[in-house]
């Protein structure tokens, strides 16, 4: 009876949440992006999928600047909407229904990520999340982790209000590293886990280029866990996946034309910070990132060098921890490293927008889900997740298309804007909000780095607060070796 009552309450709460998300889906969101998503969806349905990269019957050119996976998503939206408005594109028809449909993929992805986090928590509680001990408080924590994700202000703002599809590629990244670490079914070190990880990360990168920076970590972890042969099979599966998704576009435009188009899309809006609260906002937002800046190097080059240095440090650390722990790198450690990588990329790279720190959140929450119960590192990790969530949410609020014109963001003397930013000016209040948000995110990044490169990464794999841990012993007494026997 108690279980039945819990199920009923869960169903009621889910219905209430879906009702709230439906209301959010009816809001205008971020009109410039939502308007583009609608146009692309209608164009893909009327003129064909490939038209998004080269125009269609009524369009000589399309501004579609996403990799091809999102084109398939938009085509599905356009197909559904065509049942209600068959000539929607010709009449430039718009409606609240189309707004809701454009935001629907983000909602579905948010629900999928919540289910994945709950599964990771339950798997950790059973002791097969890459360690012989329970996850974040046991299986009872699974619904709470799912709820924490769905109710996260950053999630509600990014997907629910703005309609951004970040949960899709972020969910693929989380699934990729969880699969590789043996936390999603196939045992770690098997060809199946390696192939699944490579395919999933390829889908992430083909949904949004923000998935690409994770490939060096995937390659390193794949070699450590599965060896050379399985890694090569995974890479081949990745190429096959990409070839399949690119096929309709390559057939129409050719390999060279598509490569040029995609590379051009990656370098579009070449500014220091496109409203992303990171290092480059403090240097100056919307400045030309390709102009010489430091000893002849451009901001883009400096940002890339900083990120590559952080990436190299994370890769070296992953190899060291894998060798120092008798059972190898723990799944929660791999997810923490991937979350740190996402954070470093946002903080140091140029060209980035308000929502581009989002991918760090599900990765760090996945690490929390698999963290052994009673582990002292859970609390600081949870606080870091909360702090980064505030940073992402503040970044979205400060530059929301409507709210930026309201107090306090509209207050103060206007600051000059460079480039094609809205209205060519940045109000003093909005600029101050960006400065405070950037300082906050950099402090969060520094705290995360201290946690990862201190003893946080080691502590996450411990089964409990053992005396040996205080003595600096990095071996996990509860670890399970390759044969499955505790040692």
Please, is 419 exposed, middle or buried when counting C-beta atoms within 10 Å of its C-beta (0-12, 13-18, 19+)? Answer: middle
Cα-based angle 410, 415, 418 (whole degrees, multiple of 5): 120
Q: What is the pLDDT along the chain (487 residues), one digit of tens a residue?
A: 666 677 788 889 999 999 999 999 999 999 999 999 999 998 898 888 988 887 544 444 467 889 999 999 999 999 999 888 777 666 656 788 999 999 999 999 999 999 999 999 987 656 555 443 444 445 678 889 999 999 999 999 999 999 999 999 999 999 999 999 988 877 888 899 999 999 999 999 999 999 999 999 999 999 999 999 999 999 999 999 999 999 999 998 888 888 887 777 777 788 999 999 999 999 999 888 999 999 999 999 999 999 999 999 999 999 999 998 888 899 999 999 999 999 999 999 999 999 999 999 999 999 999 987 778 899 999 999 999 999 999 999 999 988 888 888 888 877 656 554 545 677 889 999 999 999 999 999 999 999 999 989 988 887 543 333 333 344 443 333 333 322 3
The angle formed by the CA atoms of residues 147, 370 and 7, to the nearest 5 degrees, is 35
487: tokens are 């040692």
Radius of gyration of the CA atoms of the chain, in A: 23
Q: What's the DSSP call for residue 60?
A: S
CA distance 414 to 431: 9
Q: Is 478 left (phi over 0), alpha (psi -120 to 50) or beta?
A: alpha
Helix residue ranges per DSSP H, 137-290: 142-150, 153-155, 166-180, 191-207, 215-253, 255-266, 279-283
Confidence at residue 111, expressed as pLDDT on a 0 to 100 scale:
97
Are the C-beta atoms of 287 and 271 separated by less than 8 Å?
Answer: yes
By CB atoms closer than 10 A (0-12, 13-18, 19+), residue 72 is: middle
297-298 and 292-294 as β-strands: parallel, antiparallel, unpaired? antiparallel
Helix (H, G, I), strand (E, B) or coil at 472: coil
Please report the pLDDT score of residue 327 as a whole number: 85
> Given this model, what pLDDT does residue 345 score?
98
Longest dimension (CA), the chain: 71
């Amino acid at each position: 009876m108690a279980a039945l009552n819990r199920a009923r309450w869960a169903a009621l709460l889910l219905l209430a949440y879906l009702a709230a998300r439906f209301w959010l889906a009816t809001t205008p969101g971020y009109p410039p992006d939502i308007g583009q998503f609608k146009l692309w969806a209608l164009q893909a349905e009327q003129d064909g999928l490939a038209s998004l990269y080269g125009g269609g019957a009524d369009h000589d050119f399309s501004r579609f600047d996403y990799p091809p996976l999102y084109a398939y998503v938009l085509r599905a939206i356009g197909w559904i909407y065509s049942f209600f408005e068959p000539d929607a594109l010709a009449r430039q028809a718009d409606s609240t229904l189309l707004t809701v449909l454009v935001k629907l993929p983000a909602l579905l992805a948010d629900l999928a990520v919540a289910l994945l986090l709950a599964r990771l928590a339950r798997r950790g509680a059973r002791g097969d999340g890459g360690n012989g001990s329970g996850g974040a408080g046991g299986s009872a924590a699974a619904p709470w982790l799912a709820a924490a994700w769905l109710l996260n202000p950053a999630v509600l703002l990014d997907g629910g209000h703005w309609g951004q599809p970040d949960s899709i590629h972020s969910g693929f990244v989380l699934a990729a590293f969880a699969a590789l670490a043996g936390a999603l079914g196939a045992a770690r070190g098997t060809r199946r886990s390696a192939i699944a990880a490579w395919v999933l990360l390829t889908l992430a990168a083909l949904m949004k280029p923000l998935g690409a920076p994770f490939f060096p970590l995937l390659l390193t972890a794949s070699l450590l866990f599965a060896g050379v042969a399985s890694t090569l099979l995974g890479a081949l599966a990745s190429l096959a996946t990409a070839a399949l998704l690119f096929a309709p576009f390559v057939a129409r435009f050719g390999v060279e034309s598509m490569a040029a188009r995609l590379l051009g899309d990656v370098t579009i809006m070449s500014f220091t910070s496109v409203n992303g609260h990171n290092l480059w906002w403090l240097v100056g937002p919307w400045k030309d990132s390709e102009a010489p800046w430091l000893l002849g190097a451009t901001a883009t080059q400096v940002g890339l060098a900083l990120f590559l240095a952080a990436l190299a440090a994370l890769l070296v650390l992953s190899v060291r921890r894998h060798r120092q722990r008798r059972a190898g790198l723990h799944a929660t450690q791999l997810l923490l490293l991937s979350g740190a990588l996402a954070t470093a990329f946002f903080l140091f790279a140029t060209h980035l927008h308000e929502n581009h720190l989002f991918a760090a959140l599900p990765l760090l929450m996945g690490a929390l889900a698999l963290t052994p119960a009673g582990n002292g590192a859970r609390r600081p990790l949870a606080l870091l997740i909360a702090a980064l969530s505030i940073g992402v949410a503040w970044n979205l609020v400060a530059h929301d298309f409507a709210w930026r014109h309201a107090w306090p963001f509209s207050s103060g003397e206007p600051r000059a804007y460079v480039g094609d930013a809205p209205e060519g000016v940045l109000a003093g209040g909005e600029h101050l909000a960006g400065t405070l948000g950037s300082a906050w995110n950099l402090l969060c990044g520094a705290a995360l780095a201290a946690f990862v490169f201190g003893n946080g990464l080691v502590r996450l794999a411990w089964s409990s607060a053992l005396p040996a841990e205080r003595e600096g012993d990095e071996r996990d007494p509860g670890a399970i070796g390759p044969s499955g026997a505790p040692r």
